[in-house]
Structure formats: C-alpha cells, structure tokens
Amino acid sequence: MEHNGTLPRDEKIYDITIIGGGPAGLFAAFYAGIRDASVKIVDSLPQLGGQLSELYPEKYIYDVAGFPKIRAMDLVNQLLEQTSQYSQAVCLNERVESLVKRPDEVFELTTNQQVHLSRSIIITAGIGAFTPKPLPVPNVNKYEGKGIHYYIDNVQRFAGHKVLVVGGGDSAVDFALMLEPVAEQVTLIHRRDQFRAHEENVKSLMASRVHVKTFFELKELHGEDRLTGATIVENRSKETEELEVDTIIGTLGFSASLGPILTWGLGIHDNGIVVDTRMQTNIPGVFAAGDIVSYPGKLKLIATGFGEAPTAVNNAKTYLDPQSKLFPGHSSSRKE
C-alpha cells in the first residue's frame, strides 16, 4: 500500500522504534531509556498495554515474577509508571503497514496515518492482530453486543446477570471466578471433563458457587432483541437443557494473524518472527521480543518477554553504536 506521497512524515529519526505497546514493548521502552536511546512506540490499539488492556483488564495474572497474583490492568499501570521515568514518543491507533530500509540505513515505517523514521526497530507485537473465535452456533452475530461477549472489561456491568461461560481454559475459569461474586448466577460449560487452566484455579472453581457442567456444549441461542436464553447439549447422551441467561462469555481462544508483518521480508516460522540469541531478525537492525518471536524452546509468557526485551535493546544499542557496551551494568548501580 503506497501512501508515501500523501501521508504526513515525522522527520525526526529515533534511535529505536518499538512496534507494539504490550508488556514486552513497554519494558523495552523503559530499558531503552536506561541505555539513553531516543524511543518511539507505535501501536495499533487505542491504548498501551496490548492484550492485557484490550481483552483482560480485570483478569488476574499469576506467572509474573515478584507478584503472587496481579490484575492485568494493575500490571499495565505499573509498567506505564516504570516507563514514564524516561520520555518516549507514543503513537496509538496506528497500524504499521510497511517497513523499508533505505540506502542510508534508516528505516521507514509507514502506518495507516503517517511515516516514521528510525535507526533500529524492535517488534513486540504480541500474537499479531487478534480476533476472538466466535461461538459455533447459528445466529451468533445477532446477539454480539446484546448478550454475547468475548472478554470482560468491567465486571460490574454483569452485576445481577445470569451468566453462561463457555470454555475450559484459563480465561474461562478466571472469568467465571471473577463474575461469581457479582452475578446472580454463573454457569460454566466445557465439552470435556479436563480443563486446560492452571490446577489451582480449577480447584477454586470447583469450590465456588459456579455451576460447572462438563461434557456440555452450546447448541442454540434464544431471544428477540437481545439474548434471553440458551440450549446446551450433553455431548455423550445428546440430551438438551434450557438455560435462562442474560449473558454468554465465549472463551474459545483467538485467531491471530501477523498481517502486514508477513510482507516485510522477515524470517517467519510457526506464525512467529525468527530471531537469534541476540533477538535479532534476518534484517540487520530489526529485533523482536515477546510472544511474536520464534526460536527453539520458546515459551509464550509475559515473564519470558521481560527477559527478551532488554536483550533486544542492548543488541540494538550495539548495532547503533558498535563502541557501546553490550551490558551497561545493573540498574541498581545507576545514579538516581
């Protein structure tokens, strides 16, 4: 898509431009501040925080070092406070469509709004563009926003509702437990009796007031202007059951796409960007970190991204200035 003739340009050339403002991107921005690099963050969402802000702001996270558990939005706010110790340019609602390296080694990033210039790039775009997998029942589109939801941004909006949660992973269990104190009734159905969620959360679910119905699947939706009921089916006996529900939360996962990133000439494997041990891609000056990277043994955890981000930043710094140290020393040794 050629916009260069008409789109405005930011003529300032930044040291590091970070594509993606989720946890890995925010920590990379903070660490780039430690390395005294000028930084710009570009993100397609309307706010920083990535999936945590967009999909799971109320959900608890249990596998971030130092926090027995922390609400997703609280983690984002802590990251924003940490990052704010240094100044960055932030461009939101901008989808990067092309990435081109000019003969003078400066990268041109063209988004749907403007052209950005940078001496190096760190891609922390998570799982790419994500869309929830729709509930596999007829007429589901009729009720989206009118009883059908795929994530929870505010628990209190479901106060007093009869809620049906569909799924058996972490999100299903977490959402059911979050809703149990505020909803009139919460039912969770799962097509098997084995859950993919953390064992401790499943124990909490079974000890809660949530009605857990295994081997059940969603069959039909009911209601005129909005959702009022659902038919579920026991998938072994094929017997059906009618439920009165105001809200259904679908947690069947997301379809992710790297979108325009696939056209940038990067090495791609298993729907991720291939990096080496320095977090460098096959294009010199382009690094990546977080869920979007692919290498043998990769774990898609926030904690892993927090380790990869400083590696990407330090190697971007030595790419920009070969005389700079790869490791600048521990942050505890820097002057306040």
Asked whether the beta carbons of 262 and 268 are under 8 A apart, the reply is yes
Tokens of 224: 């005129």
* pTM score, whole prediction: 0.74
Measured from the Cβ of residue 87, the count of other Cβ atoms closer than 10 Å reads 11
Tokens of 150: 């795929």
Three-state SS at 18: strand
Question: Any alpha helices (H) in the chain, and if so which ranges?
Answer: 23-34, 51-54, 72-83, 140-143, 170-179, 199-206, 302-320
Q: How far apart are CA 192 and CA 208, in angstroms?
A: 19
Provide DSSP, 256-318.
EE-GGGGGTT--EETTEEE--TTSB-SSTTEEE-GGGEE-TT----HHHHHHHHHHHHHHHHH
Asked whether the beta carbons of 122 and 109 are under 8 A apart, the reply is no
Determine the longest span between alpha carbons in the chain, in angstroms. Answer: 71
pLDDT digits (tens, 9 = 90+) for 187-226: 999 999 999 888 888 999 999 999 999 999 999 999 999 9
pLDDT > 80? residue 3: no
pLDDT band at 5 (very low <50, low <70, confident <90, very high): low
Domain 9-130+254-333 class, CATH top level: alpha beta
Asked if the domains at 9-130+254-333 and 134-250 fall in one CATH topology, the answer is: yes
- Would you state the pLDDT for residue 334? 54
pLDDT band at 56 (very low <50, low <70, confident <90, very high): confident
Spacing of C-alpha 172 from chain mean position? 17
Where in the chain are the domains?
9-130+254-333, 134-250
Measured from the Cβ of residue 204, the count of other Cβ atoms closer than 10 Å reads 17
Q: How far apart are CA 267 and CA 291, in angstroms?
A: 15
Q: How far apart are CA 184 and CA 206, in angstroms?
A: 18
Average pLDDT value for residue range 28-42? 97
Q: How far apart are CA 89 and CA 114, in angstroms?
A: 14
CATH of domain 134-250: 3.50.50.60
pLDDT band at 326 (very low <50, low <70, confident <90, very high): confident
Q: How far apart are CA 20 and CA 121, in angstroms?
A: 11
Q: How far apart are CA 63 and CA 307, in angstroms?
A: 14
Give 182's contacts (C-beta < 8 A, 6+ positions apart): 155, 156, 158, 159, 160
pLDDT > 80? residue 76: yes
Asked whether the beta carbons of 175 and 165 are under 8 A apart, the reply is yes
Q: How far apart are CA 91 and CA 310, in angstroms?
A: 22
